[in-house]
A and B are shown apart, each in its own frame.
Chain A
Amino acid sequence: MEGNLEIIKVENISYTYRSKYQTTQAIKNIACTFETGVMYSIIGKSGSGKSTFLSLLAGMDLPSSGRILIENSDMAKIDRDKYRMHQVSIVYQAFHLFPLLTVTENVMFPMELQKKNRKLARQKAEALLLSVGLSEKAFQKYPGMLSGGEQQRCAIARAMASEGQILLADEPTGNLDTENEKIIVALMKRLAHEEKKAVIIVTHNEKVACKSDVILKMQDGRLLEVEP
């Protein structure tokens, strides 16, 4: 697409989980590119390696072989802490909110790491929370007191807070009712098309996948086909 930046380039990566008792090759030779301004969906069976792929894109670890280029620089060579802080944000399948921080503070956290003004951060956090459909009542609650869907929306708000160019979301609509699902998908789409982010979501939901611009399918650690 025109005007879009090719922000991530994946070059034949593989990834193997090594634990004491077994090794699992979760990613096998994936190559693809991601552009800003596009919303991608990754679909695939459970255990096919979607979350693993996403976390590699998020720079949580380096691939066992192959490389990932972020704006043409090798992920292995850049400061991945900075990359995570400024360029990429992620919504986890299991939300992973800070249990000891309130909803608002959770959303403020990435901004505080970026050393933004606290007051502005709070305002922005509250705006983001409203935009994902959370009510003010929830702001001062702890994540443990929220429903799954509410936690998920809080996690999405936190991911949007860091203003990185890449937004990764693992099953962002998994716990939502149809109405909230629509809100979130619309939000994601707006982020991709208007704020020119590269939005990559993992989903099981056909409807959600269909709304995205590009659908990628994973099977047994491989990227099968790219459906336009």
Chain B
Amino acid sequence: MHIAIQNIIRNRKKSFITVVICFLLTAAFHIYFGNMKSNKEQLQSLPERIPVYCQITNPSGSRSTGISIDRNITEGLLNSPHIKNAVYGVRMIGGIGNFSLEEWEQNLTLCVEAVNDLNGIPGLTWEDIQLDGDADDFFHSSEPVCIVRNSLMEKNNWKAGQEIPLNLWYYDYDDIEGIHGIPLEVPDVKIAGSMDYLSTETGQMPPDILLPIGLADAIYRRQEVPLQMSFFSFYVADPLQLNAFKEEMKSLGLTEKNGTARDSYQGSALTVQDMVFISLAENLQETIRIFKSFFGVICITILGVGYIASTLLMASREKEFALMRAQGAGKMQCIKILWLEQLCLALTGIIIGDITCLAFQNMDIALITDIVIAGGYMSGCTLALSRIGRIKTMQLLFRAE
């Protein structure tokens, strides 16, 4: 062992070259693995950074609100493991108190919307709402409660906590008659809070009264009217399983939107905003694939460089080797000395490489790198040594000079 260390010190230049070679290999490998890993991580985090948004639309894709979505589709979507953060609701018309069918025109002045989430109303934020009690509870309740627009409260001189008789009509969409309202029920609903917002960017009429979707559901059930949502949007739960998701959507009867389809209110198409996601994911996957396919090449390169470097560095040591043998040192002993020497140098280079790269890389990569490089370099070295070991001592020492 001490002979090996002595050799390292005396052979400063060559030792240095070995260390540098191992250092460079380590650094290169770190970069390679680091890139591969960061690509993988990017792919893993892609769904969070670039969520895939979906909307139910009419077949031509021209409408995403005010449509009529079949109850089976809604239920299928809500039970699907592939979707998350669903936002949906139904739009109704309403008036106050009882009135006869003929009087609808004067009385049906209110826009009523039942939603499962505040996000269902574009432009409305929690800051616009004054509510007693927990705001989140409101949308999850099925109690007869509502949130009323401030202007409407003032006009009718209503107070929060008061109960009002809400005459609800639902929209029916029909290919022949188009949209028309049909009386639903006149429940007494308690004013749980008020809201105040000026306008929405969408140009869509903002609702005068907000109901929790659970209440609408209960009312529809009571009246045995199928609840058909007016809008439904959600995010894909795991965009990396986009294909499985799309299969399921197809099985629910949702089609892809088709610009040439006839305009209608039928909510039976699905718009998936996955272009960006798909192209990014494909890019990343391609990059990872390329990196992986280079793995073998890189390993072979390292082995090759290790072999060539150690052969070149060892060539000058042939004589030394033969001399040690001539003095009576065993073959294995000689190989061991040189091998140990190279191992020390390689490890030094690798460790320096690790330390340099540790700033922007973590340890588990370092370990793989070390093993591959140490393995590569040392097996090259071993090959070179066994070649030297086979040369006849005699031919080395007695070569005519």
Interface pair B11/A100, CB less than 8 Å apart: yes
For the complex, is A45 an interface residue (Cβ under 8 Å from B)?
no
In the assembled complex, the Cα of A93 lies from the Cα of B320 at a distance in Å of: 16
Q: Do A100 and B320 have beta carbons less than 8 Å apart?
A: yes
What's the dominant secondary structure at chain B's contact region? helix
Give the size range of A's interface with the partner: 20 to 34
B392 within 8 A of A: yes
List the B side residues contacting A60 at CB < 8 Å. Answer: 326, 392-394, 397-398
A127 interfacial by beta-carbon distance below 8 Å? no
What is the minimal beta-carbon distance from A40 to any residue of chain B, in angstroms? 19
Inter-chain contacts of A84 with B (CB < 8 A): 325-328
Within the complex, which residue of B328, B397, B401 is in contact with A85, where a contact is CB–CB below 8 Å? Answer: B328
CB of A172 within 8 A of chain B? no
Tell whether, in the assembled complex, residue A61 and residue B393 are in contact, meaning their CB atoms are under 8 Å apart: yes
Residues of A with Cβ closer than 8 Å to B?
A: 17, 51-52, 55, 58, 60-61, 81-86, 90, 92-94, 96, 98-101, 109-110, 113, 162
Digit string of B388-400 for contact with A (CB within 8 Å is 1, else 0)?
0000111101100
Please, how many residues of chain B have a CB less than 8 angstroms from a CB on the other chain? Answer: 21
Contacting A55 at CB < 8 Å: which of B331, B398, B401?
B398
Query: Do B328 and A55 have beta carbons less than 8 Å apart?
Result: no
A93 surroundings in chain B (CB, below 8 A): 398, 401
- What residues on A are CB-neighbors of B401 within 8 Å? 93-94
> Closest approach, in angstroms, between the C-beta of B67 and any C-beta of chain A?
87
Q: Find out whether the CB atom of A17 lies under 8 angstroms from the CB atom of B327.
A: no
What are some 25 contacts across the A-B interface (CB < 8 A)? Answer: A55-B394, A55-B397, A60-B393, A60-B397, A61-B392, A61-B394, A81-B328, A81-B329, A81-B330, A81-B331, A82-B328, A84-B325, A84-B327, A84-B328, A85-B329, A90-B326, A94-B397, A96-B326, A100-B6, A100-B320, A101-B10, A113-B327, A113-B329, A162-B327, A162-B328
Q: How many A-B pairs fall under 8 Å by CB?
A: 60
Is B319 on the interface with A (CB-CB < 8 A)? yes
Q: How far is the CB of B322 from chain A (nearest CB, A)?
A: 8
Tell whether B351 is near chain A: CB-to-CB under 8 Å. no
- For A52, list chain B residues within 8 Å (CB): 398
Assess whether B7 is interfacial by the CB under 8 Å rule. Answer: yes
Chain A residue at smallest Cβ distance from B323: A96
